[in-house]
Amino acid sequence: MYARHRVSRAAIDLLKRFEGYRQTAAQLPDGRWTIGHGHTLTAREGVQVSVSDAEALLLYDLITVAHVVNENAFAPLNQNQFDALCSFAFNIGVDNFRRSQMLKRLNAGEAVQAACAMELWRKADFEGERIVIDALVRRRAAEKALFLTPQDDAWTPAPSPLLRPVLDLDALDRVPLQRPVEVTTRLEGDQIIAQRDGVREPVVASDSPAPATTAAAEAVTGRLSAIFADPGQEPDWSLASPIVEDDVLEPDLVLEHPVPGSDVPDADLDIPKTPFPDQRLGGSTPNVSVEMAPFEFIPARVRPAPRRKQSSVVWDLLLALLGLAFFGFAVFWGLNTVGSAMGGLVTPLRVAWLAGLAGVGFLVVAVFRLLQRLGQAAERD
């Protein structure tokens, strides 16, 4: 069993730097109260705390965090790694820490991968959307640096002339494609209000579209009408005016994940524009021939029919027994009715013959199914 670690001054200073200090209790948006360095357990309205008492409350909160880290981290840790884990668990919560990918990698003996897994926790739900918070990006970087700092400055050399870094395409998902948002807090009375900086003004819907949008739509419509003109009709290129660069609108939203098929994220797609001549500038009308060839589709792979589920051999044996029962009944009934009255349509002898035929049929079907089952078993062997 590994020795139990205790939180050092490095973890306390790291937590105090990122948690901040609040002298008077303030109410969070979820209704809870916070005071000092992120203390919420005993905080209530109207309470004030000094700097020394705030640090004492932080040490009290770290007792539970340190216990969870000691109980769930099975790999041997140095003091820097333990301090970084305590700060990380204090921020994301002990429940999230127990089921985090970071702890799983650490217990698997992959310390470097565990440090990289810290960066997965850099988002927060704010104003109804999940965004990358710049403060969380900085905090994860500080915790990762502390986690990877060796004891007694036993650094492993990686000289630049020998090991020149190259672009690692596998690590591109560690870079936030979404621009980190800076969130600040302010007090309104005794409530904490979070506010993002640089909020864009809301777009007011209008009945009439913007001139740039209208021009771009007309240009696209003209190009489509000229390309897909009716057979025998001369295409009208006057409406297919080229789109001016100023008409291209900048998107308001940036996708967090790259488009499938794009090798480099956040890369502008360089789509070449088809040069259409402008008749007003003396350009000649090109002779465009549209080949209406059928599309060649890749035939879909035929899925094999599901194998029919074979019935149990018990049913075949029951069918054979039923055939024997019918045949025995027919023999018994026929022997006992010999010499009886034969008048009428339904006679005992005819009933015996029908029962005998049914019994023979059942026996033939049962024997056939048993032979078929034996043949299939021989083919599989």
- Residue 19: active-site member: yes
Instruction: Give the whole-angstrom CA distance, residue 203 versus residue 201.
Output: 6
Count CB-CB contacts under 10 A for residue 237.
21
| Of 33, 95, 89, 44, the residue nearest 62 (C-alpha) | 89
Question: Which residues are part of the catalytic machinery?
Answer: 19
